[in-house]
Amino acid sequence: MSLVVCVHNERDFLERLLQKTRDGYDDLVVVHDGPDEAGLRDVVEAAAGRFFERPHAFQQEPHLPFAYQQAAHDWLLHFDADEFPSEEMKAWLQKFRQAPEPAENVSAFSCILPLWNGQRAISRKWPAGHTFLFHRRRVRRFGMAEQPVMPEGIIEPLDLIIHHQPRRKSYGLYNVLVRKQAWRWRAGIAQSLLGKPTDLPCWRWESESWPLVWEQIRQHPLQTALRRLVMDTLRGLRNQWRIEKRFFFEASINGPVNHALLCLKFWQVRRQHFRKIAPAKRSKNN
């Protein structure tokens, strides 16, 4: 099993992750987004890992196909730098490394990623479905923010926890409305949607068609913004009540507001794009 991490000057988080995952993997690949100004190479090499420095992209997804290629093993364990496994997950990972190979139709495993309010976890079982371990020959992906790995077979859900503990909340409107990174990601996604997935760095992705979640934005951005803002919020609240018997309203609107803003950004970018190419088309026709 190879542990794959993409990071940007988060030395303390990376040190925590490597300490918490010790003896839980067989190979370490760390890709740094931009110049290594915090000396992370020393941390990685001290852990017997391999360190790669790549051009600054303000996101990890464009680096992931490269990272997958560098891994020594087909089973890839992927954590963000500010995540780490629970003790139960670490024990499971150690057993997994010694167990027989899973069936060929098993592409990945998912887990629970509890909400973090900046000081403690406030949920126990929600949200679930976070893919953290997968076989690189059984998945595909293209390198765009918010695009998850796409399995070709089964994702087996596990009742195990990954702790996501950044310095701030792991959810909420601050992350969506205030953080510069969120605005960069939405702008990057909107620009990418003008083209094809294959224009981006890809891992085993050959189709020029967009997955439905993105094609809906491309075809009907404003309608999709309204629908996701309403329906995804209600769906999130329903799932919270079913699983936790309580509501986390700020968390339930986090994703829907983000996607609504993304839809609006794409609508704006597309209009600007058409305005730029319209004079060229008229000139060519004349």
**What's the CATH code of the domain at 58?**
3.90.550.10
The model's pLDDT over 40-91, given as tens digits with 9 standing for 90+, comes to 999 999 999 999 999 999 999 999 999 999 999 999 999 999 999 999 999 9
Domain coverage including residue 189:
173-285
Choose one of 134, 164, 194: the last residue of a domain: 164
Number of H helices, E strands in the chain: 10, 11
pLDDT given for residue 155 in this prediction: 98
- The pLDDT tens digits for 211-234 are 999 999 999 999 999 999 999 999
Domain count of the fold of the chain? 2
How far apart are the C-alpha atoms of 50 and 70, rounded to whole Å? 9
Q: How far apart are CA 276 and CA 270, in angstroms?
A: 10
Q: Per this entry, what is the length of the chain?
A: 286
Residue 180 is predicted with a pLDDT of: 94
pLDDT mean over 149-178: 96
**Domain boundary at 105, 135, 164, which?**
164
Q: What is the mean pLDDT of residues 142-166?
A: 97
**Type of residue at 130:** H
Q: Is the pLDDT of residue 143 over 90?
A: yes
What's the whole-number average pLDDT of the chain?
95
Select from 164, 197, 213 the last residue of a domain. Answer: 164
Query: What does the block give as tokens for 155?
Result: 């994702």
Q: Are residues 66 and 135 in the same domain?
A: yes
Assess whether 203 and 76 both reside in one domain. no
* Per-residue model confidence (pLDDT) at position 284: 60
Residue 280 has pLDDT above 80, yes or no: no
